[in-house]
Structure 1
Amino acid sequence: MARILGLDVPPAPDSAGRHEWERDVRTAWRETCLRGVRLSEDAFDALIETAVHDPDPSFNRQFVEPAVNAFGQRRVQAALLGRLRTGTDPERAGAARAWYWSAVLSSRMPRVRAADPDAAGRAEPDEGTDLPAAWRETALREFVRNEHLDVRRCILPLLPLRKSAYPPELHDLVDTAVTTARAHPDAYIRHRVEHQVGD
């Protein structure tokens, strides 16, 4: 990401000092966004990749927000949905963490733009797809199917557990998700489901 976005930071260290280096990259990126930047097509993939692999659900906003601003919410959400469908388990968890910011952020970084004004319309699969509905269905299926703890922990807070949020053919799956979460060995998941079902 640092190389593709042209950030003025030294090369990444092997292991010692890695945390400080990552902090420096974040700072350099934040300052670049404040000054203003035109992002290439390669920058889109770099921002999505970094947001998905960032383990911190607060810091990944620094990569989602400029991507949404420059390339559009729909394109960012389509990329994250793709990762939820086909990524590795860590990528699925990361896509869920990043989805939160893609859903709540609006264009708040006016100085961050795509170099190509048509970039927001590129690489959108299924033009007529209701991406939030597709996300809900995919996340529901993934929560029930995938036993990976981090995937389930990251998906659950974004998962509506009301049958009214889904078409009738998914209502049994909602019941399965609630039952799975209530019986889960992880205390966070058990607590979270009761909070969500109670809302």
Structure 2
Amino acid sequence: MTLNKIYNIWSLTSEDEDIQTQNTSKFYDIVNDIRNSKYIWSKQDMDTFKAFLKHNEKKWFVVNLFSKLDIIPEQLFQPFIEAAIHETNPSANRYFIEPCLRVFGFERVFESLNLHFQNGNNETKIGVCKAYYWARSPLVSVSKGDGPCETKGYHLKWNGHYYSDYDRDKETHYEMTASEVSKCKVVLKTLRIARRKLLLEEFLKNKDTDVRYQIKLRLPDDISSFSSENKALANLYFKVLAKDVVPDNYADLQLKKRLGIFGNNKLIRFFLKKKNDRIKKKGLITLKNK
């Protein structure tokens, strides 16, 4: 059965609930056959997948298909990353990032996003910044009651019924050893330094309001959070922030853009700061605000 036929089965909808249920069941049966037979995708299949991942609707078929398969072909790694970058919904891009984290590992995902940020235009840089949010470390801080938090690491695994990498439960993850956690910390530190260096350098040379806004969301608010390698750049970054109003949320970003040349007015800066302080105090800043 060709990919286009599988796609047609997946995409068929009907007001008749029984027919829709039959189509869904048939799609799952096909996926199970693919998984159980260890089907090898042809070059034509790869070309079709790549084309689908560039299509606003068909890309969701690819995501849905590979969310139920334990392996993503190597040839689709970059197309998945690029689909995440070009997905305008900052919540939906996770569905392209998370399977790559599971199959290819966080190091490759981080490095690929950094490369796209470094070489891309402003639109790509903005997309990468949004994707950074979901390109998460496998290390998490776990509370131990009244004691200090403990750092643990989790490998992502296939459980035969895979939907999301976000919830670190026993069915989709298994815990790293102490040695693996230590090694992961070293790798993560190097990657974090490289990412922040890229973001700082771009912020300092790129005057685009949207790019600066997205970069600010991905950088710490305190100079002490930057490593010694990036301290000089961070100092320059905070000096620019003192002069340029870079909003903390989407609503204020739109306000600044509407104000145009008046966006850096001291009175406007004061107004935005007071407004943001009130929002933060009430705990109303969410991902949707950003």
Aligned-residue identity in percent: 24
Q: Which amino acid aligns with 1:54?
A: E
1:22 maps to what in 2? 56
1:40 maps to what in 2? 73
Cα deviation code 1:45-90 (max 9, x no counterpart):
1101111111221111010001111111100000001112221111
Query: Is residue 162 from structure 1 mapped to residue 222 from structure 2 by the alignment?
Result: yes
Aligned CA distance change for structure 1 residues 168 and 40 (closer, same or farther; 3 Å): closer
Query: Is residue 84 from structure 1 mapped to residue 117 from structure 2 by the alignment?
Result: yes
Separation in structure 2 between the aligned mates of residue 85 and residue 30 of structure 1, nearest angstrom: 26
Query: Is residue 67 from structure 1 mapped to residue 66 from structure 2 by the alignment?
Result: no
Aligned CA distance change for structure 1 residues 109 and 96 (closer, same or farther; 3 Å): farther
Aligned CA distance change for structure 1 residues 166 and 66 (closer, same or farther; 3 Å): same
Count, aligned residues = 168
5+ long unaligned stretches in structure 2: 12-47, 49-54, 139-153, 163-186, 254-268, 281-290
Decide which structure has the larger Cα Rg and report it. 2
- 2:71 partner SS: strand
User: What RMSD, in angstroms, separates the aligned Cα atoms of the two structures?
Assistant: 3.5
Separation in structure 1 between the aligned mates of residue 212 and residue 75 of structure 2, nearest angstrom: 30
TM-score by length of 2: 0.48
Residues 52 and 97, structure 1, Cα contact 8 Å, conserved in 2: yes
Aligned CA distance change for structure 1 residues 108 and 61 (closer, same or farther; 3 Å): farther
- 2:220 partner SS: coil
Separation in structure 1 between the aligned mates of residue 6 and residue 79 of structure 2, nearest angstrom: 13
Q: Which has the higher contact order (CA 8 A, sep 6+)?
A: 1
5+ long unaligned stretches in structure 1: 12-20, 113-126
Within a 5 Å distance, the mapping from 1:1-199 to structure 2 comes to: 8=7, 22-23=56-57, 25-26=59-60, 28-103=61-136, 107=156, 110=159, 130-168=190-228, 170-184=230-244, 187=247, 188=252
Residues 193 and 229, structure 2, Cα contact 8 Å, conserved in 1: no
Residues 161 and 174, structure 1, Cα contact 8 Å, conserved in 2: no
Separation in structure 2 between the aligned mates of residue 44 and residue 7 of structure 1, nearest angstrom: 21
TM-score by length of 1: 0.68
| Deviation, structure 1 residue 185 | 5.1
Aligned CA distance change for structure 1 residues 45 and 24 (closer, same or farther; 3 Å): closer
Aligned CA distance change for structure 1 residues 109 and 89 (closer, same or farther; 3 Å): farther
